[in-house]
Structure 1
């Protein structure tokens, strides 16, 4: 189905976007937070790929591979979501500290 092809491409694009952001940031908590988000996106990619292979199975091997991809994708989504929820408060705290430091630096410069 075309919707699963769209979802596969969409999740792959999000994975690449989060990985680029991961390599561009210097903050450690934000790196882990972005890594968790990219894990969710990659898990979605694998999951939708597995669903797509199960929709129109060509053989028994395709069914087995599809089921394996579904399980691996769901596991990656679950682990990424848990990491996302764990690192989110640290990333927020880190961003606020950086913002405060920039504000202090700006007031000193004036």
Structure 2
């Protein structure tokens, strides 16, 4: 067998080995992750909303509200992506883009608020005092 045939065969094998799993993932494998993220987002959203009711400290309440906003944003964002990936129509693209933008804005705003209130809590309680206890 000539040497160039062996090299081409090895190159073809390595190309299939490296690129095949990335390019040829099935649609059901991709579709599985979105419902899991959506369900986790809703569960954490409810968790943070209940945590707001349990605490009396105003700063902790607004921090939990910011965290719940992040969860709501990720829910809306991934719901929009899931709808487009599932239906693959032009209408689902527009609706998915709208949900993606709105969810991204909620996620970004919640992240900024949570970071701000976390820093405020650290500034007001340098010794690590927890107001909930």
Same fold flag (TM > 0.5): yes
Is 1:96 paired with 2:129? yes
Aligned to 1:45: 75
Counterpart-to-counterpart distance in 2, 1:52 and 1:82:
25
The alignment yields a C-alpha RMSD, in angstroms, of 1.9
Structure 1 position 66, deviation (Å) = 0.3
Bigger-Rg structure (1/2): 2
RCO greater where, 1 or 2, for CA within 8 Å and sep 6 or more? Answer: 1
Query: What SS does structure 2 have at the residue aligned with 1:56?
Result: helix
Query: What SS does structure 2 have at the residue aligned with 1:96?
Result: coil
Is 1:2 paired with 2:35? no
Give the number of equivalent residue pairs: 100
TM-score (norm 2): 0.69
Structure 1 residue ranges, 4+ long, deviating more than 6 angstroms after superposition: none
Unaligned runs of 5+ in 2: 1-30
Is 1:22 paired with 2:55? no
TM-score (norm 1): 0.82
Q: Which has the higher helix share?
A: 1
CA contact (8 A) 1:33 1:91 kept: no
